[in-house]
Structure 1
């Protein structure tokens, strides 16, 4: 949340007049497992309250797997509850989640079949796959990198992702998710993967950026953000939000 999303919006500032400020509040997590994810999600109300003190325009809840591990459709529950915290604090703000943003982006792109790369252990990756499929999108293939340490997830070399994607059945997919995790970097390699596979390619960070821009009623365009942030899908927002 604090690296690739600001990077995308700074690139947008080079081609559009809007300027952005970034504010963050942290939920604690060291090891990516279901117990810590549940505890982490429990801190999201506090974070929404703290951030709303700054009278922000949009809040993004970054942890995709924390949301998806709470059960099917939970991103809708989470978004509504966190927005209510901002209302109670007297500074109403729109809320997007990386989980909901990814689902919405895939629907906007018309993706019925996808492949994805996730840093999680296999059981958590299965939860992510099941969650996405509950939303009407088939996951043709996936790679679970099984990185339990959250800091190590953030330090994963994005240059490895092209080889990982090439080992997946991406030719059968409508779109490729290079990172189903805002924490795992993929922005630097995303255009290369898109060019090498000839498939629309996105990540949780790209999808979250797109959702924030749409919420702000701005064009969803950021250089280097792949097909989703190219403006290609900007003319039909009818399926957002879900």
Structure 2
């Protein structure tokens, strides 16, 4: 018998324990019959003020990922959705592929939607090749994000790194600052703007920005949900969350 609330799909969403945005965003965009169930990775030290601290955060994520997946599997989900993006870009295209294989193995064979793959597929679906990127990260992470997109065949013609000092601060970046950064990133050589960092609340703002910039703005949480839904055969059009979920 199907689950009464998640009768179309139960999605296991893996997030750092510091993250306050992903669960909110997923539920705002939720189609009927799809439910989201969090597996939270324990983060004891959320500081990411420099490259060394950022790498230390990834060590914490890697150490707690197995338990987060183990725990959420007890609700018998249909798919894994990675609600953390930096690790999925790490090591470029091959690093993302290895990460997907690893978490699929941990889950006993579930399909997985990562931020990196979702952005690649979303940009391809929209026909965008020249991109600008908005990131809350430190330089070492931005190098890996750029590497992934370049290896995936995109031209990264603009990049803005906000250098948030802690993982919690990512959720506190005000919309007026994001609007300024989006306008600064835009240009005639930019086909689309991509936002990474799942604890940054950008879904509604990205949808609005598409109207005044006249081009796609991919918020990482909306893009990852798009990939998860379409990969699972859920084709509902979701409004207010950007062109991918509305049109593709």
Residue 133 of structure 1: which of 150, 160, 179 is its match? 150
Residue 80 of structure 2: which of 52, 59, 72 is its match? 59
TM-score (norm 1): 0.84
The secondary structure found in structure 2 opposite 1:221 is coil
Q: Write the distance in 2 (CA, Å) between the matches of 1:27 and 1:106.
A: 32
Q: Write the distance in 1 (CA, Å) between the matches of 2:153 and 2:141.
A: 19
Instruction: Evaluate the alpha carbon distance shift between residue 170 and residue 58 of structure 1 in structure 2; reply closer, same or farther with a 3 A threshold.
Output: farther
Q: Write the distance in 1 (CA, Å) between the matches of 2:101 and 2:94.
A: 12
Structure 2 residue 207 is matched with structure 1 residue 186: no
Residue segments in structure 2 that go unaligned for 5+ positions in a row: 1-21, 49-53
Give a deviation string over 1:190-228, Cα, whole Å, max 9, x none: 122111110011111111110110122111521111111
Instruction: Evaluate the alpha carbon distance shift between residue 37 and residue 220 of structure 1 in structure 2; reply closer, same or farther with a 3 A threshold.
Output: farther
Give a deviation string over 1:92-143, Cα, whole Å, max 9, x none: 5322112221122112222111111101123321221122111111111011
More strand as a share of residues:
2
- CA shift at 1:70, angstroms? 4.0
The secondary structure found in structure 2 opposite 1:106 is helix
Q: Write the distance in 1 (CA, Å) between the matches of 2:143 and 2:36.
A: 35
Q: Write the distance in 1 (CA, Å) between the matches of 2:93 and 2:59.
A: 14
Do the aligned residues in 1 keep the contact of 2:133 with 2:156 (CA within 8 Å)? yes
Do the aligned residues in 1 keep the contact of 2:186 with 2:193 (CA within 8 Å)? no
Question: Corresponding residue for 1:176?
Answer: 193
Question: Corresponding residue for 2:98?
Answer: 77
RMSD between aligned residues:
1.8
Residue 68 of structure 2: which of 38, 47, 59 is its match? 47
- CA shift at 1:27, angstroms? 3.9
Point out the more displaced range, 136-145 or 157-166: 157-166
Point out the more displaced range, 32-41 or 144-153: 32-41
Structure 2 residue 169 is matched with structure 1 residue 152: yes
Q: Which portions of structure 1, spanning 4 or more consecutive aligned residues, are displaced by more than 4 angstroms? A: none
Question: Corresponding residue for 1:25?
Answer: 40
Aligned residue pairs, count: 221
Question: Corresponding residue for 1:118?
Answer: 135
